[in-house]
Amino acid sequence: MHTLDELPLGGSCRVTHIDAKGTFMRRMLDLGIASGTKITALHKSICGDPVAYEIRGAVIALRKEDAKNISVQAL
């Protein structure tokens, strides 16, 4: 099992688990990130953090610190 921060640009994956509780979990759910969600890595900022991901048709930037808490399976 890998985490979202390891997904290469252009790669796609499915969320298998979110290691979070409370407000962080609520934020992930509000962004549309839940088990089974397909995510594609689109762009990296100049300094490498955050990374823009396509999630359910929207482009959302996540910091590596947050992406490390999202377990994924490559597609």
Question: How far apart are the C-alpha atoms of 32 and 43, rounded to whole Å?
Answer: 19
Domain count, the chain: 1
Indicate which CATH number applies to the domain containing 28: 2.30.30.90
Q: What is the pLDDT of residue 1?
A: 58
Q: What is the pLDDT of residue 48?
A: 83
Alpha helices in the chain (DSSP H): 22-30, 64-67
Q: What is the pLDDT of residue 29?
A: 93
Report pLDDT digits (tens) over 2-61. 999 999 999 999 999 999 899 999 999 999 999 999 999 999 999 889 999 999 999 999
Residues spanned by the domain of 49: 2-74
Laid out side by side, the sheet with 12-18 consists of 2-3, 70-74, 12-18, 38-44, 51-55, 58-62
**Residue 37 tokens, joined:** 């969600």
What is the arithmetic mean of pLDDT over 63-72? Answer: 95
